[in-house]
Structure 1
């Protein structure tokens, strides 16, 4: 049990809540005997455990550079990550069945700070974080990955021809694909953003997927959660904070988000044997092709 694992690392805690929605980690919210609230992250697979040290090193580099709070780990081991809960609460939680967020209406100061944080992250010199061991890739690798998934999905998911044509046009348009990658979080969904009682952004969680990649990666989850209007407001805040957003960035975000919520999700479901993800992807594909 996770409490026994925690005890081996010097933590005597009571589990209050378990979050099973993460693909890489099972997350336990716990309380120690002295009332201290802890977050325990339990890796699901051996390859996830192998990346734990990388995330710890990345947090150490980014903590003084970003205008929000990041976790400060007190246990970092192959079988457990543990840190004291940060101030604030997640803006929203994923649906455990659909792994989707409810469509949210957020206050302007949340989006203003999120845009500021993303801009600051994208301005961190790639060399400063590459040494941590994070995944280093550029837009061309993302482009090649999507092209490969599109080919695989055409057979495995019976993709509608209009969507295949649409995504091929997107892939072939050089205007969408920047020359170099930047540091990205890759999963800025509302359950990874902490807010205070006024709805202001105070912290960012779960940097396991961070890397050097196309900046578009940090806008896909916000679009899914906040809709087109929320994306427009976020991009405005990003530009105001110095973020470099070209004229095709919005369309790039829209296409990447649609692709990941359908083709990427469906292929993940097939690869991991989770039929619910395959069914959800196919239903979204059918709706998008109407």
Structure 2
């Protein structure tokens, strides 16, 4: 299918590998007759197709403004995206069913400094510019209301320990934990190790998959690192962010921890229910009971 789609759009390639781990796209790694390597992305759902044009405009806007490589789409249609493969490899792609990271190498100290600088640079993007690109813009209460709704629904679908319910309930109800209108930033919102490219030395070279980009709570750019690397990773990323001029509000680090814990258990469970991914339901339940 991928090769046929590519040929329909004038790109003749041979498929090398099919990656079905992505939640939003089926991805193919291919090579053309000149030996150039390509990445082919096919959206899994109509809702994802509707985000493609906004993502294309955002990438074009950010490429000259960020100190890291971003995909440059040469084919962009509702049914197929194709771009020349960027240098580097994903640091730690997720296993398609267990969601455990499959590490290529250990991240270096410089990785967190570099990633923090990229996040800080992106957070300085003028929101008025982002709105013109057609990127989703959330209200400052949207994420909080989503979390509240997910917790209510999850208690009827999963076994959720009482101590976790109490901790999350206290967090949701605490006005000081959450972003105000002035705190919102342009976020990637899915910066897990499978979307960060590194070279042989461990230096950050590129960032992939901007489908979830939006104007939203800046904590969304820190939760995946906390989930993957724990407290040490979060501390190092925040240090790199601050070194590059990024500022955070009081209580931000605690907010990131709680949001990370919640999104990678409760919100994962909600996604599993909505998408019918039973294997993700099981992962979410295990994490809730851990």
For the Cα contact (< 8 Å) 1:115–1:241, is it kept in 2? yes
**Of 211, 215, 224, the match for 1:212:** 215
Distance 1:216 1:93 in 2: 21
Structure 1, residues 80-139: CA drift from partner, whole Å, max 9, x if none?
000000111111211122123258742111111100000011110111111111110033
For the Cα contact (< 8 Å) 1:106–1:226, is it kept in 2? no
Number of residues of Structure 1 aligned to a counterpart in Structure 2? 287
For the Cα contact (< 8 Å) 2:91–2:196, is it kept in 1? yes
Partner of 1:151: 152
**Of 261, 269, 273, the match for 1:270:** 273
**Of 192, 205, 224, the match for 2:195:** 192
Partner of 1:224: 227
For the Cα contact (< 8 Å) 2:272–2:278, is it kept in 1? yes
Distance 2:147 2:106 in 1: 30
Partner of 2:8: 8
For the Cα contact (< 8 Å) 2:88–2:205, is it kept in 1? yes
**Of 232, 235, 238, the match for 2:238:** 235
TM-score, normalised on structure 2?
0.96
**CA RMSD, aligned part only?**
1.3
Gaps of 5+ in 2: none
**Of 243, 247, 251, the match for 1:248:** 251
Distance 1:138 1:114 in 2: 26
2:112 pairs with 1:106? no
Matches within 5 A, 1:106-185: 106-180=107-181, 181-185=184-188
TM-score, normalised on structure 1?
0.96
Structure 1 segments of 4+ aligned residues over 4 angstroms from their partners: 102-105
